[in-house]
Structure 1
């Protein structure tokens, strides 16, 4: 797949995930809407993290000629989503909450900050 296709696919999944994540953080927990939005958020985050592994790091440090430090957050998301889902299914709400907060802030906020740094495509789209 082309890098451009992967980048746009990543944006197509991360933008609604960020919106849903924000809504879930603000809403009452445990209700039907929380569960629907939360599951959708988790699916979008898992898919976007998987897609992002195919996107080549073109700014800064590279490992194996492809991966950059931002890819660590992708791996974090791929681990956090199933862990959070299983915790909720088992009734371990504390672990579920901690994983989801970590996922939201790590994979959405921190990765978002990295994504708008000079030299990255998103930076040129937003600031040029």
Structure 2
């Protein structure tokens, strides 16, 4: 697979989401025991909306990236299962937020960051994938 504009957009959004996610999680509002009327920190909100936007860009662009070399169905590999997972998680996360269920919102967002950014990001380093090929073959000269 070669670097196309679509893959470049997908990869840029994903890498940026991996980088900004910890900022949003670190700058969170606080614990459930905090005062209910307390204002959210601007950094948490700004980083959170940026992260959500990047995750949507990553998921939407992934719909159009297909790989017929790996095990697939019509070009969609198992990693594409993260697309509905991202949409569903974001929906429920904002629903929890709207209802004031901050602990549930926090759990969903942390889980989504770990599963969709860290775990999926690790799978992109498999030698047959674009980033894996770049890392293992071209940069490190190993595999």
Pair in the same fold by TM > 0.5: yes
Between stretches 101-110 and 19-28, larger displacement belongs to 19-28
Write out per-residue CA displacement over residues 21-77 of structure 1, whole angstroms, 9 at most, x where no aligned residue.
0222233434111011011101110121111111113453101x2111101112201
* Structure 1 or 2: more helix by fraction: 1
Q: Could you tell me the TM-score, scaled by structure 1's length?
A: 0.88
Unaligned runs of 5+ residues in structure 2 are: 30-39, 139-143
Which of structure 1's runs of 4+ aligned residues deviate more than 6 A? none
- Matched length: 126
1:1-128 equivalences in 2 (<5 Å): 4-29=4-29, 30-63=40-73, 65-127=74-136, 128=138
Inter-CA distance 28–102: structure 2 relative to 1 (3 Å threshold): closer
Q: Which has the larger radius of gyration?
A: 2
Aligned Cα root-mean-square deviation (Å): 1.8
Q: Could you tell me the TM-score, scaled by structure 2's length?
A: 0.80
Unaligned runs of 5+ residues in structure 1 are: none
